[in-house]
Amino acid sequence: MKNEDEIRSIIQTKIENKHINTMDDLLFKFIFGKEERKHFTIDFLNSVLSESLGHRINDIEFRPTEQIPYNKADKAPRFDVACRLDTGELVDVEVQVANRHNMDKRTLAYWTYMYSTGLHSGEDYLEASPAITINILAFNIRRKAIVHSSCSIRWDDEPYRRFGKNLRFHFLEIKKFLRAARNKPASEMTRIERWMGFFAFRRKKQKQELAMCDDVISKAYDACDVFFSSMEERMNYINNEIARMDYRADIKDAEDRGEERGIKIGEERGEERGEERFAKLMQILTSQNRNDDISRIITDKAYRQKLFGAFNI
How far apart CA 40 and CA 29 sit, in angstroms, is 11
* Residue with more model confidence, 125 or 135: 135
- The residue-averaged pLDDT of 111-133 equals 82
Report, as an integer, the average pLDDT of 178-207: 93
Tens-digit pLDDT profile for residues 40-82: 999 999 999 999 999 999 999 999 998 766 666 666 789 999 9
- For the segment 204-218, the average pLDDT, to the nearest whole number, is 94
Q: What angle do CA 278, 279, 284 make, to 5 degrees?
A: 95
pLDDT digits (tens, 9 = 90+) for 243-257: 988 887 777 777 666
State the pLDDT confidence band at 261, using cuts at 50, 70 and 90.
low
Q: Which of 64-68, 106-110, 232-236, 248-252 has the lowest mean pLDDT?
A: 248-252
pLDDT at residue number 71: 67
Kindly list the domain boundaries of the chain, sorted by start residue. Answer: 4-257, 268-310
pLDDT of amino acid 308: 82
